[in-house]
Structure 1
């Protein structure tokens, strides 16, 4: 507590001690009273001093030797209804919903709180209690030979007045009849209270006297604490189930951005805390939390409405009582705010005060969880027995007439209503009082009274020696103590209209709610339509059952309203939470390539499997496109060029073979020329192996075939270069160097040079041969089928050996380029090797950087380009002479001995 509160408590305790000493209260009892008062808030504690001492029950603890005149009734709190009986039960009901606080300067006894705003609905609850008692008294099966009595008070829906009513309940049936302060309280049980805040106060007052209390409308989860509220029972479900139901409702309709409004009491506070706890980790966020003051303030209410008007949250959950909601909603209608979807708690979702047709444009479509309805057969007839003639001195009956008819049957200077006879008929249109078609709270009152009756009945059936108390004893029927009745209340179990009524170890009843929807009736007024249920006894996820087709929403719409901070993210995108804002406020970010989201409001995008890729909308995975160097826009031109090159080579071969006896063919070593043409034909054709889907055999063939054929071709050119160099460098006639470069030697050179390449390829195929592979790294949206070289070392050895042969051939031809002769072939060999080397030097970087299937195309192009280079450089000049200049195809011309 804060410092000033501690000092106030000390002062108050001193004052209580001084005042109670007047009644000679023993120290042991005094300490118990002080313990009780310490648990009260300061305002209630001040009231306790002035009100508690007004009742004779406090002085009952004084010595029996105290004179009767010491117990003086200093104030009076008249009950609403009273009836005698063998056993007395109390009733506390919120017959008014508004209060006027008196001036409390603590210099004189404060006047009582003035209660305003008569509630016909609560008055119906009172009559239900009276009806239940009368039925029990008339029953021959329940409490035979015994009767129940009652004493009913008004709490004004306010904790302070509820406390005053509780203190009055503790006294006897009539305070004037109990002047002596001795013995236990004649009150065995209390039916009440409606609001959780009032029930907390009443339960704490009843706790020291161990008087059980059965609430018909207090659903706060705080009452499950049996250490604080050991005598508390209720026939309404615990709010833990209600907040669970509301959380499931919000999730069911995808309302992710909601407002919360609560009353300024324990019920509202615990309910909001429970709902926030239920919503943790879910997709629902709270846009704002507001509190309606306990003592209603219009200015504060307008501030709350302004928040509601500005917010994007179109769904508002309200945990409040009917009394404080009534003025709030009237001001709400004056502000002409529409479009709000109300989610009502059980405290006001079936309040008949809101059924007028003027409420529908603003409250129509409200949905909430109402306590289970029942059937009370005689209630309608019993309510009509109430009249000013039957209760001429009952102020509450006069206020009922004022609320229903706007006139007063008991004229006085205090009210300003016109006078009426009091003989008016109670009609069905007075639904605030006469609505008995589906009683809910009234049915709870009915069950509570019967729970007390059944408990008393079981207590009276106890047989000595088989009792539940000390030494197997039973309670004395003529001196039943409240705590003995509490034991039987905890164990009671009975059936009412097919419903089993009992209490668990925490005093709670079965968690069951009807889902109520406010719809427009035939007369334009609001009707409460049952559109589903919530059964807390079912497994998780199966509790909520909603008939959506029967529902009507705010603004008389048939479509479910939308209440979100951000629009839903469609499939193909994910939610990205905005920095510094709740998780319900987000931006929608498209999924990256290769990821998808196939649900609305996906938190993250998921990767597609390895061989799959996202479609254009990023909503599903589709098989990746498989690519390879096929017979398409790239493969067909390469195929055509390859075939053309092979055809040209064959054509040259035919020309050479046909003119094999001519000087040009013979001088240039026709055998080696045929070998070169054969090798070039194979070179052109081996590029075809690079086109088409790679297989194990095609991958092994493509690299080995091109390397061996090119090695054969270069070996032939090398042999020819050696022959040319040897022929033109012979210095003496006797030098017979050509005998070392005869046909056999030339074949040996070609074979040995080619054999080296064959050995390298064989080792490559044995150790780590090329194989088909699926390349997904270069372009993740595609699968590129290509041939992996297997051993990179072997691949570069193959190319390196061809390059070594070409370099050697180029050097030798370069040395012989200026030798005499009209047809010095060394010049053409030099130029052909220069082109060949340029092509393959350019191939290396192009091959390494070529993407996917383009690598095969680059290699195929290099093969074709180098093959064409060799073909044209070596054989084009010869074909030119053979076909177009036959006069130069003579030995004399070639040897430079032609006559001029």
Structure 2
């Protein structure tokens, strides 16, 4: 009986124990510790966050599909946005209270930086809902840290794709000299390395950014990425106004956590008016995280962002005083849900590996359990009321980025960047939301189009026609020489030498057909110079050689018989041509011509939408062209001087058919005048290649034509009007009387 009684008592005790154990299994506690800044001099949005935390705890604990048989609890302390206070209170709570499974917070980056550098020593994972400091991405300094907020450097992929969207390939950066911002710019620079994007200038300032902004203008920066605090952004925009770095051509890119009208407020110490700041800020892009899901979709909590807003603002613990900071509510709500999903993953993983403990039995010495929590956190992906949350790179999630633009003095939403679709992020633009001035997208730099200067057909054809007419004229004179070669007027004028003169004229005319401005071969360069040099030498060499014969005969004071044949004159011309050819050959050997591109910096044309046309011309270049050119000038100048001397000395020989001194004087006058005009204009119009071609060709055609006309028209006139060919001189005392056509005096023998 006692045995039965004892047996019944034992069975009762066992039942009570099982009942107690079963009751405890249904209330296994998973403890969260939160840092909520409710007081202090910094951000005090802890109360706004706590309302969302309570909502999340209720929704999770009432959800049968997550953390089954577990109860999620939340303790908090006031971090005051102060790193010292946060670390001290964390130490105290960790030592006084039962173990916590995760540390949530802080809301301020400085408190997260301070606590996450030591919280991992308790084998605990820290998860922040509001810290966006780029420094927190450093896994070496913060090894067990995650966050739901988007750091500034995670905006860089959106900024880079923004540049690609509008075909901007040149960019400049400017940042405040703080590690917080240097990390952002360094990340941007690293991301664009090896891409089509070029960084043309990187500027850093400590206090006054004026000189750095001036450097941006000097580098012709158009697209400018910034990283700085809000008050420094105002200084930068004011400096931009002062140096003129603003307008529809300039695009500033700022972060999205500035005040809604940051460029208009607190201007007392800035030095610019509101109107000036409006001008400087107009057209700027603003990239920032979204705090609530812009897509109307139901997430893990079966709520849309709008439905959450309605529930949040109608919650029993919500007060109107929380309004200024309730933007953080969506992230605080999702902060709890992500933690719960990570815990749920940990529970399953521990069961799969047969871990001797359950998650509620976690202690700070259980590093292996925290390793599982940390791994599950990194693999978490969910859609919440703040948007899609995906961890792919360390502590930072991939979130939707909000794109805004300052237009008409206000910030306007223009679209979103779906970075949550990593690695294939894309833009979702709001149609017709971007209002470009005059409908033109700004360029990353002045669009420079290179255009080759060519001789226009409207100039080239007339010049060639005139040259062809000149050649035809020379051929006509040549025909005249052949037909009337036995006529005494023609015969006395040395028709063979006249033909040589006509050959030189044809060579000069032919040089006009060669366009050196569009040269594609060194042969072209040499051809034009050779044609002109030989043509000039042959023309005036022939003219002066026969004048030299007249000079030799009619200045013969001793009346000696003197015969000068045509071949002797041809030898003189040939000698002159040989000298010129020698110079040209040496020129081609020592300093051969090459084709270079000469950019005409003074000839720049604006064609609208920040586009310019820069002209260039292909020209002939030789290293020692000036030296060889002067050698030719000296030879030709000596030839002209000698001809002038001969013309002066034979000016008293009165037979027109024989003496060309007057014509030579007129030719010299024309050549000197035209050469002076051509040389002067060529120096003044060194970059005006088309005009240069027109002027030099015009001078050449006029000079060559006048030479032909002056030399041959009098002879044609003498033939058709049978001018007397009596030979008389006045200065030498030598006289001769004309004989009949079949006889000649000893004075003019050999003149044929």
Normalised to the residue count of structure 1, the TM-score between the two structures is 0.46
The corresponding residue for 1:560 is 415
The corresponding residue for 2:670 is 835
From 491, 496, 507, give the equivalent of 1:666.
491
From 630, 640, 646, give the equivalent of 1:806.
640
Deviations 1:309-331 (A, max 9, x none): 653599xxxxxxxxxxxxxxxxx
- Answer yes or no: is the 8 Å Cα contact 1:92–1:152 preserved in 2: yes
**1:213 aligned onto 2:100:** yes
Deviations 1:733-772 (A, max 9, x none): x522x32x23343333333333332333333333334444
* Pair member with larger Rg: 1
| Correspondence list, 1:254-269, <5 A | none
SS of 2:150 mapped into structure 1 = helix
SS of 1:657 mapped into structure 2 = helix
The corresponding residue for 1:108 is none
From 852, 858, 872, give the equivalent of 2:709.
872
| Correspondence list, 1:843-854, <5 A | 843-848=678-683, 849-851=685-687, 852=689, 854=691
**1:787 aligned onto 2:642:** no
Q: What CA distance in whole angstroms lies between the structure 2 residues aligned with 1:670 and 1:719?
A: 13
From 312, 318, 326, give the equivalent of 1:354.
312
Deviation, structure 1 residue 514: 4.6
CA 197–600 in structure 1, closer or farther in 2 if over 3 Å, else same: farther
**1:888 aligned onto 2:723:** yes
Structure 1's unaligned 5+ residue stretches are: 1-82, 100-114, 140-147, 161-193, 257-272, 290-306, 315-339, 374-438, 462-481, 494-499, 517-527, 550-554, 563-587, 590-597, 606-617
- Answer yes or no: is the 8 Å Cα contact 2:511–2:528 preserved in 1: yes
- Answer yes or no: is the 8 Å Cα contact 2:504–2:538 preserved in 1: yes
| Correspondence list, 1:476-491, <5 A | 486=363, 489-491=366-368
Deviation, structure 1 residue 822: 6.1
CA 154–510 in structure 1, closer or farther in 2 if over 3 Å, else same: closer
| Correspondence list, 1:55-454, <5 A | 122=54, 125=57, 158=78, 200=87, 202-207=89-94, 212-215=99-102, 217-219=104-106, 221-222=112-113, 225=116, 227=118, 230-231=121-122, 233-234=124-125, 236=127, 239=131, 240=136, 241-242=146-147, 245-247=150-152, 250-251=155-156, 279=184, 283=225, 285=227, 288=230, 308=259, 310-312=261-263, 343-344=290-291, 354-356=312-314, 369=331, 440=337, 443=340
Deviation, structure 1 residue 599: 9.2
From 750, 756, 766, give the equivalent of 2:573.
750
CA 882–202 in structure 1, closer or farther in 2 if over 3 Å, else same: same
CA 682–151 in structure 1, closer or farther in 2 if over 3 Å, else same: closer
Deviations 1:550-595 (A, max 9, x none): xxxxx9x985389xxxxxxxxxxxxxxxxxxxxxxxxx99xxxxxx
Deviation, structure 1 residue 809: 1.0
The corresponding residue for 1:774 is 597
CA 539–633 in structure 1, closer or farther in 2 if over 3 Å, else same: farther
CA 123–844 in structure 1, closer or farther in 2 if over 3 Å, else same: closer
**1:725 aligned onto 2:559:** no
- Answer yes or no: is the 8 Å Cα contact 2:663–2:710 preserved in 1: yes
CA 654–366 in structure 1, closer or farther in 2 if over 3 Å, else same: farther
The corresponding residue for 2:525 is 699
Deviation, structure 1 residue 672: 2.5
Deviations 1:784-840 (A, max 9, x none): 233335642223222321221111011111122134456653222222223223333
The corresponding residue for 1:797 is 631
CA 762–128 in structure 1, closer or farther in 2 if over 3 Å, else same: closer
SS of 2:415 mapped into structure 1 = coil
Deviations 1:203-238 (A, max 9, x none): 322455695333463456347556577447357468
CA 343–843 in structure 1, closer or farther in 2 if over 3 Å, else same: closer
CA 116–639 in structure 1, closer or farther in 2 if over 3 Å, else same: closer
Q: What CA distance in whole angstroms lies between the structure 1 residues aligned with 2:55 and 2:524?
A: 97
The corresponding residue for 1:681 is 506
Q: What CA distance in whole angstroms lies between the structure 1 residues aligned with 2:504 and 2:478?
A: 11
CA 458–669 in structure 1, closer or farther in 2 if over 3 Å, else same: closer
Q: What CA distance in whole angstroms lies between the structure 1 residues aligned with 2:344 and 2:329?
A: 26
From 762, 771, 787, give the equivalent of 2:585.
762
| Correspondence list, 1:535-554, <5 A | 535-536=391-392, 544=398, 546=400
SS of 1:775 mapped into structure 2 = strand
- Answer yes or no: is the 8 Å Cα contact 1:813–1:829 preserved in 2: yes
- Answer yes or no: is the 8 Å Cα contact 2:147–2:395 preserved in 1: no
CA 242–538 in structure 1, closer or farther in 2 if over 3 Å, else same: closer
SS of 1:689 mapped into structure 2 = coil
Q: What CA distance in whole angstroms lies between the structure 2 residues aligned with 1:765 and 1:441?
A: 82
Q: What CA distance in whole angstroms lies between the structure 2 residues aligned with 1:544 and 1:284?
A: 21
Q: What CA distance in whole angstroms lies between the structure 2 residues aligned with 1:818 and 1:459?
A: 135
SS of 2:485 mapped into structure 1 = coil
- Answer yes or no: is the 8 Å Cα contact 2:53–2:333 preserved in 1: no
Deviation, structure 1 residue 502: 2.2
- Answer yes or no: is the 8 Å Cα contact 1:626–1:783 preserved in 2: yes
Q: What CA distance in whole angstroms lies between the structure 1 residues aligned with 2:586 and 2:342?
A: 98
- Answer yes or no: is the 8 Å Cα contact 1:676–1:713 preserved in 2: yes
The corresponding residue for 1:627 is 453
Q: What CA distance in whole angstroms lies between the structure 1 residues aligned with 2:723 and 2:183?
A: 105
The corresponding residue for 2:221 is none
Deviation, structure 1 residue 544: 1.8
The corresponding residue for 2:12 is none
**Is 804-813 or 742-751 further displaced after alignment?**
742-751
Q: What CA distance in whole angstroms lies between the structure 2 residues aligned with 1:200 and 1:800?
A: 93
CA 151–656 in structure 1, closer or farther in 2 if over 3 Å, else same: closer
Normalised to the residue count of structure 2, the TM-score between the two structures is 0.54
Q: What's the RMSD between the two structures over aligned residues?
A: 6.0
The corresponding residue for 1:187 is none
Q: What CA distance in whole angstroms lies between the structure 2 residues aligned with 1:342 and 1:791?
A: 65
CA 355–450 in structure 1, closer or farther in 2 if over 3 Å, else same: farther
CA 863–799 in structure 1, closer or farther in 2 if over 3 Å, else same: farther
- Answer yes or no: is the 8 Å Cα contact 2:597–2:619 preserved in 1: yes
From 373, 379, 382, give the equivalent of 1:502.
373
